[in-house]
Chains A and B, each alone.
Chain A
Amino acid sequence: MAYKQTSQKFNAAINSVEIGTGNKTLALGGENVLPFYSFDGPILNPPRVGVEISDLGMNDKLAGMLNFYGDTQDVVELVKKASGMPGAEFICLVLDSADPDGENRSVEDCVAMVKSVEEAATLPLMVMGCGNTEKDTVLFEKISEALEGKNIVILSAKEENYKNVGASAGLAYGQKVGAESSVDINLAKQLNVLLTQLGVNNKNIIMNLGSATAGYGFEYVVSTMDRVKMAALGQNDTALQMPIVTPVSSETWSVKESLLEQEDMPEWGSRENRIIDMEVATAAACLAAGSNAVILRHPSTVEAISQMIKELI
Chain B
Amino acid sequence: MGKFITIGERIHCISPVIREAMNTQNPEPILLRAKEQLDAGAVYLDVNIGPAESTGVELMKWAVRLLQENFDNVPLCLDTANKKAIEAGISVYNRSKGKPIVNSADAGDRIEYIDLAGANDAMCIALCSKAGVPADNDERMMYCQELLERGMEHGMEPEDLWFDPLFLVIKGMQDKQMDVLDAIRMISEMGLNSTGGLSNVSNGMPKEVRPIMDAAMMAMAMANGLTSAIINPCDKRLMETIKSCDVIKNNSLYADSYLQI
- The interface of chain B, by Cβ under 8 A from chain A, is 2-3, 251-257, 260-261
* A186-B254 contact in complex given A193-B260, A235-B3, C-beta closer than 8 Å: yes
Contact between B256 and A186, CB atoms less than 8 A apart? yes
Q: CB within 8 Å of B: which of A54-89?
A: none
* A237-B252 contact in complex given A193-B260, A193-B261, A197-B260, C-beta closer than 8 Å: yes
Q: List residues of chain B with CB within 8 A of the CB of A190.
A: 255-257
Contact between B255 and A193, CB atoms less than 8 A apart? yes
Cα distance A121–B2 in the bound complex, in angstroms: 44
Expressed in whole angstroms, the minimum distance between the Cβ of B9 and any Cβ of chain A is: 23
Q: List residues of chain A with CB within 8 A of the CB of B254.
A: 186, 189
Q: List residues of chain A with CB within 8 A of the CB of B255.
A: 186-187, 189-190, 193, 239
Contact between B257 and A193, CB atoms less than 8 A apart? yes
A227, CB-defined interface residue at 8 Å: yes
Number of A-B pairs, beta carbon distance below 8 Å? 35
| Smallest Cβ-Cβ distance to A193: which chain B residue | B257
Contact of B257 among A185, A194, A237 (CB under 8 A): A194
- The interface of chain A, by Cβ under 8 A from chain B, is 185-187, 189-190, 193-194, 197, 227-228, 231, 234-237, 239-240
The dominant DSSP class at the A interface is helix
| Smallest Cβ-Cβ distance to B256: which chain A residue | A190
Q: List residues of chain A with CB within 8 A of the CB of B253.
A: 185-186, 189, 227-228, 231, 235, 237, 240
Specify which of B2, B254, B260, B261 lies most central, judged by the most chain A CB atoms within 10 Å of its CB.
Answer: B261
| Smallest Cβ-Cβ distance to A232: which chain B residue | B253
| CB<8 Å pairs between A and B, sample of 30 | A185-B253, A186-B253, A186-B254, A186-B256, A187-B255, A189-B253, A189-B254, A189-B255, A190-B255, A190-B256, A190-B257, A193-B257, A193-B260, A194-B257, A197-B257, A197-B260, A227-B253, A228-B253, A231-B252, A231-B253, A234-B2, A235-B2, A235-B3, A235-B251, A235-B252, A236-B2, A237-B252, A237-B253, A239-B255, A239-B261
Cα distance A186–B247 in the bound complex, in angstroms: 11
Expressed in whole angstroms, the minimum distance between the Cβ of A234 and any Cβ of chain B is: 8
Q: List residues of chain B with CB within 8 A of the CB of A189.
A: 253-255
| Smallest Cβ-Cβ distance to B2: which chain A residue | A235
Cα distance A187–B255 in the bound complex, in angstroms: 7
Q: Known pairs A193-B255, A231-B252, A235-B3. 12 more at Cβ < 8 A?
A: A186-B255, A190-B255, A193-B257, A193-B261, A194-B257, A228-B253, A231-B253, A234-B2, A235-B2, A235-B253, A236-B2, A239-B261
